[in-house]
Amino acid sequence: MLTVSETAALLRTFDNVLILTHVRPDGDTVGCAAALCAGLRALGRTAYLLPNPGLTDTTAPYFAPYAAPADFAPEKVVSTDIAALSLLPENAETYRDRVDLAIDHHPSFEGFGRANLLRAEAAACGELLYDVLQELGPITPEIALPLYVAVSTDTGCFAYANTTAETHRVAAALMEMGIDCRTVNKVFFRTKTRKRMQLEGAMLSACEFYDRDRVAVLSVPLALMEKFQAAESDAEDLSALGGQIQGVDCAVTMRELRPDVWKLSLRTGDRVNATRACGILGGGGHAAAAGCTVEAPWAEAKRRILDAVAQVAPDFSAD
């Protein structure tokens, strides 16, 4: 595993770089990729981001200036915020054996790169990228803005338990560059479409409780998305909703991606280790936020994740 200094030194040797983001891209993977691309370009390198078909209206503006043209032939490939090769978008499959450098912060990171940088205690991959980019050269506003997107989104605007004093120090340094963080905060954390509000209302109305009301299960079947004609951007970060319910310390969000294919997201407190629970079903992530994918009808997928939670929560009550 590389150090930050070794990673920066390695990046200085790279040119014609393609940067990968993960499937269903969030602000952390997009922000990190965009910031790294800007940092490499500041060194005079050619660098692009591999287009990601899962981009939403909120993340796309930070991605668009760096999207690779169709005929770009990379010499080096870097991944940001990708814990496992299974999280590559379909159009990145051709690069699964070509990742020269993988940068991540997930404890479940598989270390699939030819070289790897991991900081599992970092609240966001953007926190780690900040240190790497500082080694490469001065942090410019062009670099700082997507880094702020990365750090703020992966910490829930600094509200999640993963937020540390170091997270705030990094955010403060980025804000001192004069970036428009107010717009970032409004777009990502204080603005909801009507369709989003309808989705949340339907999810909460059908919410199920288990384990003496400490576990909440919220579902987003395809039929619900179709009912409200909701777009992907309307469904961003719905996994945070269940954790806002008083008394709930394990929120399970079941999002149907295709018929009987469910993306399960866990947001937990100290009692339930989310990455251990999701790991039982082949997923991973962090202690308080993790996910996995299950191919099964809704009732069976729900049973599997509840069984997994019960295995890692010693006082789980089936009553």
What is the band of 319 on the pLDDT scale with cuts at 50, 70, 90? low
Across residues 243-263, what is the average pLDDT? Answer: 97
What is the band of 15 on the pLDDT scale with cuts at 50, 70, 90? very high
d(CA 153, CA 131): 18
Would you say residue 10 lies in a domain? Answer: yes
Across residues 248-254, what is the average pLDDT? Answer: 98
Across residues 196-200, what is the average pLDDT? Answer: 98
Residues 48 and 87 in one domain: yes
Residue 314 has pLDDT above 90, yes or no: no
Residues 173 and 274 in one domain: no
Across residues 268-273, what is the average pLDDT? Answer: 96
Residues 214 and 180 in one domain: no
Percentage of residues of the chain with pLDDT beyond 70 = 100
Residues 48 and 166 in one domain: yes
Q: Which residue range(s) make up the domain with 65?
A: 4-189
Residues 75 and 206 in one domain: no
Strands annotated E in 184-306: 208-210, 215-220, 250-258, 261-268, 284-285, 289-295
Residue 304 has pLDDT above 70, yes or no: yes
Residue 154 has pLDDT above 80, yes or no: yes
Would you say residue 318 lies in a domain? Answer: no
Across residues 231-237, what is the average pLDDT? Answer: 91
Across residues 243-268, what is the average pLDDT? Answer: 97
Strand order in the sheet with 215-220: 208-210, 215-220, 250-258, 261-268, 289-295, 284-285
d(CA 169, CA 183): 20
Position 157 scores a pLDDT of 96
Please give the structure tokens belonging to residue 47: 């660098």
Mean predicted lDDT score pLDDT of the chain: 97
pLDDT tens by residue, 91-119:
999 999 999 999 999 999 999 999 999 99
Residue 86 has pLDDT above 70, yes or no: yes
Position 318 scores a pLDDT of 78
Residues 124 and 218 in one domain: no
Residue 207 has pLDDT above 80, yes or no: yes
Residue 124 has pLDDT above 70, yes or no: yes
Q: Please check whether residue 298 is in contact with residue 283, taking contact to mean a CB–CB distance below 8 angstroms.
A: no
Would you say residue 319 lies in a domain? Answer: no
Residues 289 and 208 in one domain: yes
Would you say residue 213 lies in a domain? Answer: yes
> CATH code at 272?
3.10.310.30
